[in-house]
Chain A
């Protein structure tokens, strides 16, 4: 058969096996790194229609999260404020700032500002903000240190595995009810040890669901 195939063809099986292992390894590593939410979601920081600085408002000025996101502790949905909320102050402060032109226009016309949504809830998943913030889960756990962000950035993967990390071990992540909106506060476990975290989870009857239907209804 030397007429049909060169002698080097004898090495082909080994070469194919080596190639498959190398290719398979690279493909697995590539998919694991580049195609999971740790890469695809984290770091997303789109340009917003108004250059609103959370670092200035929530950090420096110390506005409570709920001043703008006023229904986060009452509703499943954390609302984005209307221009009316902005104008509560900005009819007095920086009245003529060109940066706020879009806000004034929205206020006058009633057309909402086209904010770009950063934290996307996956299809077919149900999430309730009020249940979380009223049971010791601070904003910072999912959204990161918003109070230090000039531009809001996606800091956590928000993958299902990431949700389950906390749902399986809530005692490591819960905070005192008074610390929920203080994004610089430590968790109970960091402050008083894991035993205190376990006690809080028990006393507050925190039972995060781990079944499919807990989130996929």
Chain B
């Protein structure tokens, strides 16, 4: 601009070209009032327990009992009850661990990165997505903890001084995993809880006014004496921002380190530099799949269409599309590098993946992860919530198969053809994994019954009437 001015008065471009006015999407529809939002969210908790909730809860408890049974049997008999055997010494346990950990990533992305990028549409889904993250970490943690076999020694994972003078091998990515996942769990819980404080105070006051002293006391205990003063809000905003900053690297680091479990080894099919970005993209892809799987039924049951609008669904579908396409690109790039790198073992590993004994799993993966998200290019598809929900299930299935394909096909055909094998899960493994969906559902059902599923204060801040320029075009 400086030299343009020195050459003479330049015509004001903006006066000649009228920029198109792009209206911001409305995040709360039908011009709902603040009181309506509070009523809507709190009524879910304050109302009578719906019958569907009890049905789902009992079914979820029954399903969760499969994990309890599987784990009890494992502890009683030993880790040999799982189907692992040379050469496939990592199988469903690690597949399920990576699967669940990956799902959590959408919650952290929504709460941290979208917060820092001021993506205001996150407010409708962040609370439930963060809850999903925490419950997914709980399910994920079951597998590495119990795959050590003698679970009472699982504390050896942590560097605690002991009479065995055992110290952890800090050069092992498995040890990095311990810290990555435990940090991730801790920060996710903190983030979730800090966000909950103002809403817990609202519930405390409402139950107090309704004369329910016990529930008022319990919510009050966790509301930490929140009065909504300016000082409280100012501290809250700062704490939230700091936690968003702390969580942001975690979105990338946790699954990067999970991918190191494989990438740092020398096994063909694992030893690739593309793993960290490819795993992170896959994690966010699967996470948004799970967010859609959970939020769409909630939206329908609790009639939350004004809060989770078509715009929200569009945004989630587009992120699923973007990350799913990155994952598809990574699949292609793995093949390209296997050919371009001219390493016969690497080449064999990938040919074997697509056309070997586990080809069925590979093509399920490709169909679910590469083809499914491409439907989200179409507005018609994104507007059909039932179809979006079905596609989100396919995303979840596909991402589980991705981990299965990576872990099992590489191990089943390692360097020594004499030790090649074919892995099938034992019934105990199947029980344990099946049950984790129950564990997750039990926790999530308790969450929607007893905690506000959306941040009320933040939602109010994104309503049209909270905007001082409401109804005007300039922003």
Contact = CB atoms under 8 A, between A and B. Distances in A.
Contacts of A3: 208
A178 interface: no
Q: Which of B162, B163, B204, B225 has the most CB of A within 10 A?
A: B163
B163 A37 contact: yes
A3 B225 CA distance: 12
Contacts of A4: 204, 208, 213, 216-217, 220
A133 B58 CA distance: 64
Nearest to A40: B163
Interface in B158-208: 162-166, 204, 208
Contact of A161 (B164, B204, B224, B225): B164
A160 B166 CA distance: 8
B225 A1 contact: yes
Contacts of A1: 204, 220, 225, 227
A5 B165 contact: no
Interface in A137-165: 157, 159-162, 164
A10 interface: yes
A160 B163 contact: yes
B216 A160 contact: no
B163 A38 contact: yes
Given A4-B204, A4-B208, A4-B217, A160 B164 contact: yes
B227 A161 contact: no
A157 B225 contact: no
B198 to A, nearest CB: 14
A35 B14 CA distance: 77
B220 A157 contact: no
Contacts of B208: 3-4
A160 B225 contact: no
A114 B163 CA distance: 31
A82 B97 CA distance: 54
Contacts of B204: 1, 4
Nearest to A13: B224
Contacts of A164: 165
Nearest to A36: B163
Nearest to B208: A4
A157 B162 CA distance: 13
Contact of B163 (A5, A9, A159): A159
Nearest to B213: A4
Interface string A153-192: 0000101111010000000000000000000000000000
Interface residues of B, number: 14
Contacts of B217: 4-5
Contact of B164 (A5, A9, A10, A159): A159
A159 B166 CA distance: 11
Contacts of A157: 163
Contacts of A36: 162-163
Interface string A8-39: 01100100000000000000000000001110
B225 A9 contact: yes
Contacts of A10: 225
Nearest to B165: A161
A37 B162 CA distance: 10
Q: Which of A1, A160, A162 has the most CB of B within 10 A?
A: A1
Contacts of B227: 1
A5 B166 contact: no
A161 B204 CA distance: 53
B186 to A, nearest CB: 16
A4 B216 CA distance: 8
A65 to B, nearest CB: 28
Q: Which of A4, A9, A38, A162 has the most CB of B within 10 A?
A: A4
Nearest to A32: B161
A13 B165 CA distance: 36
A3 B217 CA distance: 10
A10 B162 CA distance: 38
Nearest to B216: A4
A4 B222 CA distance: 13
Contacts of A9: 225
Interface in A39-67: none
A160 B163 CA distance: 7
B452 to A, nearest CB: 19
A159 B161 CA distance: 13
Given A4-B204, A4-B208, A9-B225, A161 B216 contact: no
Nearest to A159: B163
Contacts of A13: 224
A36 B208 CA distance: 50
Q: Which of B164, B166, B208 has the most CB of A within 10 A?
A: B164
A38 B217 CA distance: 47
A161 B163 contact: yes
Nearest to B226: A1
A161 B160 CA distance: 13
Contacts of A37: 163
A12 to B, nearest CB: 9
Nearest to B221: A5
The 6 closest A-B pairs by CB, nearest first: A161-B165, A160-B164, A159-B163, A36-B163, A161-B163, A164-B165
Interface of A: 1, 3-5, 9-10, 13, 36-38, 157, 159-162, 164
Given A5-B217, A37-B163, A161-B162, 6 more contacts: A4-B220, A5-B220, A9-B225, A13-B224, A38-B163, A161-B163
Interface of B: 162-166, 204, 208, 213, 216-217, 220, 224-225, 227
20 contacts: A1-B204, A1-B220, A1-B225, A4-B204, A4-B208, A4-B213, A4-B217, A5-B220, A9-B225, A36-B162, A36-B163, A159-B163, A159-B164, A160-B163, A160-B164, A160-B165, A160-B166, A161-B162, A161-B163, A161-B165
